[in-house]
Structure 1
Amino acid sequence: MTEESIDWIARAGRRAKGRRPDTLHDYNAERTLSILLAVAAEVSVLKERLDTVERLLDTKGTISRADIEAYQPAGEAAYERAVATKEYVARIMRGMQQEMEAMQAAPERPMAEISAELRDS
């Protein structure tokens, strides 16, 4: 199978095996999260591709599509790209990270207090 013979639209529309995740217990929230994560992944790919174009232009002055497809970052370029990706993901997940930190900083409540609150609500 060659790159040209792959039907990317059909492949993208394939269903995963098993049930869809239900971690948020809300279909619309799950769907929105799925879409946002897919867009974030696409932006990440675009950022790496742009980095490739910029690095090739810096070193060669001109590039071809073949140059872009064949580029493999190494050494400092690979390190810089990994740091940039890590920072990008951290920015996307910042809200969740802040919530986790707030939960960890909150004092633990006694189980009896939590139980009484649940019973009375």
Structure 2
Amino acid sequence: MSYASSGQKKEEKVWIPKGKPSPFHDGPRNDQLFAMVMALTVEVAILRDRLDTHERVSEEKGGFSGKDIEEYNTDNESLGYRSELRKRIYHKVFRVLREEAALMESNSKEEYDDFMESYEKD
């Protein structure tokens, strides 16, 4: 950074940034951030809908208490299921970063497309 000189004291001068702007402020990083936030927003909305359904069914059928939730012990099947759900969420949220990394590492657009097609099958 430097400051504009107009006869003012150094403390009173306006600082003018020099050099390249931070990549976070403009360009593809904003697109990536936006895509990640949107993916998270979709996941949170789905989660909230499911939670609402859970609460309504519980209320209608005389469900359970908060204490029941706190004392619930998760079995191995549930842990595995939750682990897969987390992986799916992470996969969706960080997809844009994986795509960029794959494109940067590939030698051609065709190689990138082949990689992304095989990745989507996993």
Asked whether the two chains share a fold, i.e. TM above 0.5, the reply is no
Band of TM-score, shorter chain: 0.3 to 0.5
- TM-score normalized with structure 1 length: 0.40
- TM-score normalized with structure 2 length: 0.39
- Which is greater in Rg? 2
